[in-house]
């Protein structure tokens, strides 16, 4: 679970840094579109890995509790 949250945090940080760099590069007049889009695509992939990992962790916890007869919280 904590690894999934680390991936989510890293993806948001990467998106933030990418946007700040793009703003700076655009104001200086030398924004390159392909590296910008590649960085955003990479951040989205990392975001998806984190979200899927979090969902799998939650489902594992819920189905293990249900198999034991306990009610999930």
Q: How confident is the model at residue 2 (pLDDT cuts 50, 70, 90)?
A: confident
Residue 73 located in a structural domain: no
The secondary structure of 9-68 as a DSSP string is HHHHHHHHHHHHHHHHHHHHT---HHHHHHHHHHHHHHHHHHHHHHHHHHHHHHHHHHHT
Range of the domain at 38: 2-67
For the CA atoms of 37, 50, 11, 40, what is the dihedral angle to 10 degrees?
0
Each residue's pLDDT tens digit, 41-73:
999 999 999 999 999 998 988 888 777 776 655
Residue 5: per-residue pLDDT: 93
Asked whether residue 8 carries a pLDDT value surpassing 90, the answer given is yes
Each residue's pLDDT tens digit, 19-41:
999 888 888 888 888 989 999 99
Residue 47: per-residue pLDDT: 96
Residue 40 located in a structural domain: yes
Number of domains composing the chain? 1
């Amino acid at each position: 679970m904590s690894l999934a949250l680390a991936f989510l945090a890293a993806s948001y940080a990467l998106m933030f840094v990418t946007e700040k760099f793009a703003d700076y590069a655009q104001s200086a007049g030398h924004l390159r579109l392909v590296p910008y889009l590649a960085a955003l695509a990479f951040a989205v992939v990392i975001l998806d890995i984190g979200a899927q990992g979090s969902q799998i962790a939650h489902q594992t916890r819920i189905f293990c509790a249900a198999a034991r007869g306990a009610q999930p919280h």
